[in-house]
Chain A
Amino acid sequence: MSRSRSLTIGAVISLMILLIAAMSFIWVPYDVTQLSIPDKLQRPNWTHWLGTDHFGRDLFSMIMVGARTSIAVALLAVGIGIGLGVPLGLAAAARQGSLLDEVIMRTNDLIFAFPSLVIAILITALFGAGAMNAIIAIGIFNIPVFARVTRGGALSLWQREFILAARVSGKSALHISVEHILPNVSNLLIVQGTIQFSLGILAEAGLSYVGLGAQPPTPSWGRMLADAQTMVSFAPHLAIIPGSAIILTVLGLNLLGDGLRDLLDPKVRKGRG
């Protein structure tokens, strides 16, 4: 698949999921908290486009509201990663080789060594299951990722003439980092942000699946899958529909990330030609 095509397809899928999530704030076909046992376990039909679950709840409505949960958790987790990781990466690059740089980078290496899912489960289980703790648990592991990407991008910039000029003119390291380095690493951050966003969607689904994500009655895709597990042999649509929603979202974001990397990273662009 050509890169520009992956950008287009990725952007269309991602936008569609975002729109569905946004729309759920103003309109859903059915109330997701309303149980209707006579309508339970319906296959997709004209009244219930994606069918109903074992409580007779409309699956399409649940997917819409579930999108909101997934996106909110993954997006805020990316926010934590950028909010803390980027300043750390900038500081490490500004003081390359210093004790600060060494401490930041070694701590990063250490966090990478932790099995993220186990720690996320540990945090959510010990501090209480819920969307907020899921965000923190996923977000913590985004910090070293963004710190590393920022440091890597910033290090090469510090050698460039325009940065030298800024230094000669007497600007402080902080000033240069914010004014000159940050805008120039933003492309890298956008690409990495898209990737971490899609990983966050998967992580949120995993946590919700084991009951540690958003709590009922808030629908979430992972929890829908957990509920489906015992009924999957006679009502496969209960598993196929939320699973497809997760796959489509992650696929869309990954394609978008690939496309953006090509669009924004001149090295890749040059390498292709």
Chain B
Amino acid sequence: MAILTQDEARTLLQKVLAFSKADECQAQISGREGGNIRYARNAVSTSGQLSSTQLVVTSSFGKKQGISTINEYDDASLAKVVRRSEDLARLAPENPEYMPFVGPQSYQPAATTFIPATANINSKLRADLTEQSLKIAKEAKVTAAGFLENTAGFSAMLNSHGLFAYNTATDVNFSVTLRTDDGTGSGYASRGYNDVSLLDVQKSTQVAAWKAAKSVEAKAIEPGKYTVILEPAAGIVLMENLYGALDARSADEGRSFLSLPGGKTRLGEKLVDEQVTIYSDPWHEKLPTRNYDGEGLPQIKRTWIEKGVVKNLFYSRYWAQKKGVQPIPYPDGFVMSGGNLSLEDMIKGTEKGILVTRLWYIRSVDPQTLLYTGLTRDGTFYIENGQIKFPIKNFRFNESPIIMLNNLEQLGYPERTISGESNSAALIPPMKIRDFTFTSLSDAV
């Protein structure tokens, strides 16, 4: 029963609420079916399949709240889980920041986030796709390590104020790293979609194979400030630390890069280059997401940064009430606008610069300036006179996405990419940036 229909979910949740004696009660159920395959050393390694569900019941008495869960669905189990959450609520300390549950909402019709073909992926298809990738690796005489994962899931919620929401979604993610057998060259590619028919495992593997072969005999160049072209898979890991930190409360409290002296914030101010526009849109054709958030608030199309100016920050329901504004939920997907140029066009238009395939091990160095460190990985090349000239050794960088987006030269055509750090998806353009700060060399390939 891992995936319930809307009617099945509503019926079950109504049954749960019927057991409630609390001031407020909310029941959420979710389930997923998923499978994955890993390969390395040009052969399959581990592979598995998972099926699971979960019912979460939250009960409140005044400002006291308790949460409990179960994954059995007979009447006695449902009664038990409700009673447990009520017992816990009675024991819990009062939370002065407690917010009552959200009442009934009207949502705009949901985008198509569930694709049957993706939900139907089985172990045979996973093995077939892996076989295609391995064939390319073997022909190119390089060694492949890769990962393919598919999931199909649903979630639904119902509360004692009558709010009901339901959605289903599918996902398939693929990534591959090809290395030359002597370990001196490495190339990477990754892709993720709701719809498996868009996934071209062979094309991604070919890109990675090309980079692996071309990155052999990398030259060491001096650390310093360079013009870089960040491919979307490299850009996303810095961008997610910018748009993920657009939080009103920490800005208002003075402990964010958005804070200004005297309790002011950068909301409404120009933060980065005017080429930068970042928005979220649950109905985006390439990145469709849920039309409500985890508390049941509607998700709508919303601009966060427009032409470099901070337009919106996330407001939790508590903070919004305190500040007298509407709550703004955190969206499930971000889109960064760009131009029409392809990555190839951008390379052609670059006199001197560095092409970065991927950035790795990204960690906050200073939250005050949003300074991050990390390294280049799996395909770093020197560009001269519009051409990729030679591979270079990997660098460590210390850079802030704020500084980086003030040194923005050009944006290319945005594409859906997956963060190698958080595994989340976004639409990010290739970015050409001047004076990107590399602070040391790494021997890693």
A complexed with B: no
Interface of B toward A, CB cutoff 8 Å: none
